[in-house]
Each structure stands twice: as structure tokens, then as C-alpha cells.
Amino acid sequence: MLRKDSLAVIILLTGLTGITPLSIDMPLAGLPPLAAAFGEPEARVQLVVGVFLAGFALAQLVLGPVSDRFGRRPVLLSGLAVYTIVGFACMFAESLDVLLPLRFIQGVAACAGPVVARAVVADVYEGKAAQRAMSIVTAGMGLAPIVAPMIGGVLMTWFEWTSVFLTLGLTGVLLLSMVQVLLGETLSQRDPNAFRLRGILRNYRDMLGNRTFMSFALPSMLSGGALFAFIAAAPFVLIGQLGHAPVMFGVFFAMVMVGFISGATLSARISQRRTPAQMVRLGNNVMAVGGVLMLGAGLSGVEHAMALVLPMALVMMGTGLMRPNSITGAMANFRDRAGAASALLGFLQMGGGVLAGAAGAIFALQAVTLAPTAFAITGFALLPALVFWLYPPRLA
């Protein structure tokens, strides 16, 4: 086993957090072909992403406390094993009614990766070191959304939609092998009461009632609405409405995620000189500027991919600046319950983001122009700055 604070472990943690965007973004280019193969409307095929996110969000509330009780390694190994098996099973689904439950289970299993990864960072690092480590992990995680749609586009060009799930299953095999060989247990003291219902409810009540935790969690949660609105609408706007090929969709998505990586990389460099609250404010402001630029282009009647892609890249740059610092700030007071804190934070980020993004996507998918999509994304790009201004952390 490698030392728990080694660079190789940071790289592994990056891969574990990247399992989420990989599982969401790789199938995106395959949604139109999947709709045609199953004879289903595009709106219903969107559930391939939605049910994964639902399973992912809900399972965090359980797996976080489980990792506080039984350790990080057992939760990771079990979750990745189920993820791998279900990934291969998705290949043999003969209808959407069969595929959707499998995707829900895959989402449940996948959440072990990021929940435990955040908890491991809290186990090993604190203070400025935790801020920097989380920024590095976040920056590396941004590679998955760049690579995943491009891989999905290539697979859809040469193979059938089943090749996407074969690739996800093989990814599970790789991560499972790496955890087995490289990652030791980082939890120094297990909490025997962590998985008791009363203890779980008490921990979550304490965190939800903690102003610092919530003030840092809310911007991250709301920014997810912008991302999920883009994820839901972009394939149909860029491929269906504007006529770009699936491979080009992967290129456009990569451009957006370069913004995210740039923001997180910049965060790792400058967070040593700024507090988490200062970094969150900076990221919120950058997101707001990107949203306003997108809305301006949409209202001006510009019908070009770059009118959506470039402002979204700026929104994601702000997210990259904000998110690692919001995680660090929220978890700082709960390092003794890092698994539960990571779980609740992830649930709020994913669950709230999914609900907000779904509302925006329903509106955006009715569009015959770019303006409604721009309007939905802009709303969620502006909200983090507003909420953090109205409800700042104490002593920030």
C-alpha cells in the first residue's frame, strides 16, 4: 500500500471523484441513438441520466456514515464491485424499462467513489493543505468530463450504444484494481455509533443547522443547477437543433470543461493566500459574469454553438474556483465526522443541482432558439453569488 498522503493516492482520489462525470457525460452523445433504438421519445431517454443522478444523490446519505463506521476501504471496494457488474449488465438491456433500474443501481454504487474520496482528504489533510489538495483533486476530476463525451462521440460513430456501458464496466474494473492494490485505510478511529439511525439524524441535523456548513454548501449546490441544465439541453441543442455531429459535441463539452479545470488549477495556486470564503466569492462572481454573457447572446438572437459554449466555459471556470473551497469550508468543522459531512454535502450538491437543473432543462428543452437554454443556465449561474452575499459564513 502507498502512503496515505502520497501523490499517487491524490491521483487515485481524482479518478474516484471522476467516476461521476464519466458515468454521466459518456452516454450523452448516445442519447439520440438510444432513443431511436428503443423507439422512445427524447424526453424519456433523458432519464438515463436522471435516474443515475437520483441513485447517486440518495445513496450518499447512507454510504457516508457507513464509511465512518466500517472504514473507507470496504465501502470503496464494495461500491466499485457493484458499479462494475451493473455496468456490464446495462449492455444487455432490451428496453428502457430494463435499463433505467440498472442505471439507478449504478448511481448508488458510483457514489462510493467521491463520498469516500472527500472523506479521505479530510482524514489526511487540514487547513491550507486540505484546501490545496481538494483543489488538485477537483482540477484532475475535470479531465473526465472532457474525455468522456469525446469517447462517447467516437463510440457512437463506430459502434452501438452498448459500447458506452462496456467502457464504463471496464473503468470500474480498473478503479477497483487500483484501490485494492494502492489505497490503505485512512480512517484512524471508527465510530461505532455512526451508522445508528439516531446518530445519523443527529449528525445531519447539526450540519444543516450550522451556518458555516450551509453557507458554503449552498453556492456549490446551486451552481450544479447551471451544469445539469446544460447537460440536459446541450446534446439536443448542439446536435439536434444546430446540426453538429456527436464527435463535435464532445469537442464542445471539452471546451466547457477546460474552463472548469482552469478554475480549479488557479484555485490550487492562489488559495494559499486567501480564505475559503474569499475564494468562493471570487468563483461566484466569475460564474455570474459568464451567465450574463450567455443571456446577452441568447437575447440578441445569436444562433451559434459558441454563444452557448464559451459563456458556459466561463461559468464552469467560476465553479472550479468556488467548489473545492466550498467543500473545504463546509467540512472544516466536522473533520471528526468526515464521512457524514461528505455525504450530506454531496447530497446537497447533487440532489439540489439535479432538481434545479431539471427545472431549467424542462424549460430549455422546449426551445426553438438558444435564448430559453441561456435563460435557464443564467439563473443558476447568478444564484450562488446572491445567496453567499445574503447568507455569508460567520467570521468570513
Mean pLDDT within 22-30: 77
pLDDT at 291 over 60: yes
CA distance 52 to 165: 13
CA distance 298 to 261: 25
Q: At residue 87, what are phi and psi to the nearest 5 degrees?
A: -55, -45
CA distance 154 to 151: 5
When pLDDT is cut at 50, 70 and 90, the band that residue 83 belongs to is: very high
pLDDT score, position 362: 65
Q: Looking at per-residue confidence, does 267 or 127 come out higher? A: 267
Any domain includes 190: no
Any domain includes 326: yes
pLDDT score, position 284: 93
pLDDT at 4 over 70: no
When pLDDT is cut at 50, 70 and 90, the band that residue 316 belongs to is: very high
pLDDT score, position 5: 56
By the 10 Å C-beta count (0-12 exposed, 13-18 middle, 19+ buried), 189 is classed as exposed
pLDDT digit string, tens, across residues 54-65: 888 788 878 878
Spatial CA neighbour of 122 closest among 344, 294, 307, 319: 344
pLDDT score, position 106: 93
Spatial CA neighbour of 29 closest among 157, 181, 178, 180: 157
Any domain includes 199: yes
Query: ∠ CA(346), CA(351), CA(356), 5° rounding?
Result: 130
Any domain includes 395: no
Any domain includes 153: yes
pLDDT at 217 over 90: no
Question: C-alpha 396: how far from its chain's center?
Answer: 26
pLDDT at 230 over 60: yes
Q: Looking at per-residue confidence, does 89 or 339 come out higher? A: 89
Residue 382: domain span: 7-184+195-390
pLDDT digit string, tens, across residues 162-209: 788 888 899 899 999 888 888 777 777 776 766 677 777 888 888 888
Residue 308, domain CATH: 1.20.1250.20
pLDDT score, position 253: 80
- Report yes or no: 360 and 229 within 8 Å, Cβ to Cβ: yes
pLDDT score, position 365: 56
By the 10 Å C-beta count (0-12 exposed, 13-18 middle, 19+ buried), 324 is classed as buried
pLDDT at 368 over 60: no
pLDDT score, position 360: 59
pLDDT score, position 88: 92
Any domain includes 396: no
Say what percent of the chain tops pLDDT 70: 84
Task: Determine how many CB atoms are found less than 10 A away from the CB of residue 55.
Answer: 20
Any domain includes 117: yes
pLDDT score, position 272: 73
Tally of structural domains, the chain: 1
pLDDT score, position 79: 92
Taken in order 121, 122, 128, 131, the sign of the CA dihedral is positive
Any domain includes 56: yes
Say what percent of the chain tops pLDDT 90: 14
pLDDT score, position 64: 78
Least confident of 279-288, 304-313, 354-363: 354-363
Q: Looking at per-residue confidence, does 20 or 46 come out higher? A: 20
pLDDT score, position 364: 53
pLDDT score, position 340: 78
pLDDT score, position 2: 53
Q: What is the mean pLDDT of the chain?
A: 80
Mean pLDDT within 89-96: 84
